[in-house]
């Protein structure tokens, strides 16, 4: 069975990372347009660096949870072929043992030269003084609003071949990820939503299971493997 899994902030919520759009979420207290757009970075790069420095420190203090661990175990099973796509810019999937994670929104653990496009491991603290060897200013390697997500060809190809598409812990508000469920369905895949509560896209899914990721994800993985 070929499974494409899309994860969002909800899978890391119980690790302590918080989410973006829930009550008390990141975008309730921080200005998305200032912190997560190329225009915001051009206007005030120091503020954007400060925000991602805080997020980078936060993820270093968090551990993968039972949901990340269950998905890593699923990936290891020879009976299934799993493509794991995440919108998350943290490395909790990798730290749980997952390999070949497709970070469609990039990762704040990598620095990207805004001038030449070179990449290198992000230092713990980035600032306007953080420069590429070419002299260009460094930015976090995350995909901001108005930018094109990474690896879309690879994701599209996986969706075409999928028997099952599963979305975990994502509100279904941000495109193109929010459109994956319909695309997978059009290609003939079964679709399943695992989320704390029905998302914006809930009615697009054939099946759903609601509850905290640390419960519903291991439960679903167990079903698949037994
Ligand atoms: N278990 C499962 N789901 C949860 C949990 C939990 N413990 N806690 C919250 N959720 C669900 C919420 O109900 C919500 O539907 O996770 C979802 C989180 O939604 P968002 O905060 O919108 O996060 P996400 O969908 O990943 O956001 C997409 O928006 O700002 C951007 O680039 C950022 O990648 C991010 C994108």
Contact 173 CB / ligand 1 (< 6 Å): yes
pLDDT at 166: 98
Binding site membership of 73 for ligand 1 (Cβ less than 6 Å): no
Ligand 1 centroid to Cα of residue 161, in Å, is 26
Q: What is the mean pLDDT of the segment spanning 149-161?
A: 98
pLDDT at 23 over 90: no
Given a cut of 90, whether residue 27 has pLDDT beyond it is no
What pLDDT sits at residue 20? 85
**Residues 221, 168: Cα–Cα separation, whole Å:** 12
Q: What is the pLDDT of residue 136?
A: 95
* Average pLDDT taken over every residue of the chain: 96
DSSP state of 137: B
SS3 string of 50-107? HHHHHHHHHHHCCCCCHHHHHHHHHHHCCCCEEEEEECCCCCHHHHCCCCCCEECCEE
Share of the chain above pLDDT 90, in %: 92
What's the DSSP call for residue 3?
Answer: E
Q: What is the pTM of this model?
A: 0.96
* Better-predicted residue by pLDDT, 24 or 208: 208
Residue percentage of the chain with pLDDT more than 70: 100
């Amino acid at each position: 069975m070929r499974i494409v899994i899309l994860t969002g902030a909800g899978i890391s919520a119980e690790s302590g990372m918080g989410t973006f759009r829930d009550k008390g979420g990141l975008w309730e207290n921080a200005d998305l347009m200032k912190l997560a757009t190329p225009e915001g970075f051009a206007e005030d790069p120091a503020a954007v660096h400060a925000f991602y420095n805080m997020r980078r420190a936060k993820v270093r203090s968090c551990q993968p949870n039972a949901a990340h661990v269950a998905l890593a175990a699923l990936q290891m099973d020879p009976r299934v072929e799993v493509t794991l796509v995440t919108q998350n810019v943290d490395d909790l999937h990798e730290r749980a043992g997952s390999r070949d994670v497709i970070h469609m929104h990039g990762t704040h653990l990598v620095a990207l030269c805004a001038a030449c496009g070179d990449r290198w491991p992000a230092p713990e603290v980035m600032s306007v003084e953080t420069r590429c060897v070419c002299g260009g200013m460094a930015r976090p390697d995350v995909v901001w609003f108005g930018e094109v997500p990474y690896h879309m060809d690879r994701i599209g190809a996986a969706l075409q071949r999928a028997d099952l598409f599963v979305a975990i812990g994502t509100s279904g508000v941000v495109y193109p990820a929010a459109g994956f469920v319909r695309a997978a369905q059009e290609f003939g895949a079964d679709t399943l939503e695992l989320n704390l509560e029905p998302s914006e896209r809930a009615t697009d899914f054939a099946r759903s299971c609601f509850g905290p990721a640390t419960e519903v994800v291991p439960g679903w993985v167990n079903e698949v493997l037994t």
